Amino acid sequence: MAKRNGHGPRPYSYSAPAKYRLIIHWPHRTHTFTTSDKARARRIARHHASGGAHVDFQTHQNWDVYTTTRTYTPETPA
């Protein structure tokens, strides 16, 4: 990042907050994924649910406050 009129680079940016968070649970581990793209978040949630993971889809409300809006359960073969 370039210098800003004698100042150093900005340490962080608030321009693109993580609006959606996925908490993906497998029997042996848990993974957290954040993005600001809702379509991408839904696609990843469906992909992991079809692979046997339990996924909590959360929406950003405030500073570090997320609300679970949907839960994807593992798809079982019929």
pLDDT computed for residue 1 by the predictor: 53
pTM for the structure as a whole: 0.71
Query: What pLDDT score was predicted for residue 57?
Result: 94
- Cα–Cα–Cα angle for 63, 71, 26, rounded to 5 degrees: 95
Cα distance between the two ends of the chain: 53
8-62: pLDDT as tens digits: 666 665 555 678 999 999 889 999 999 989 999 999 999 999 988 999 999 988 8
Q: With residue 40 as reference, give the H or E element that holds it.
A: helix 38-50
Instruction: Give the per-residue pLDDT at 4.
Output: 57
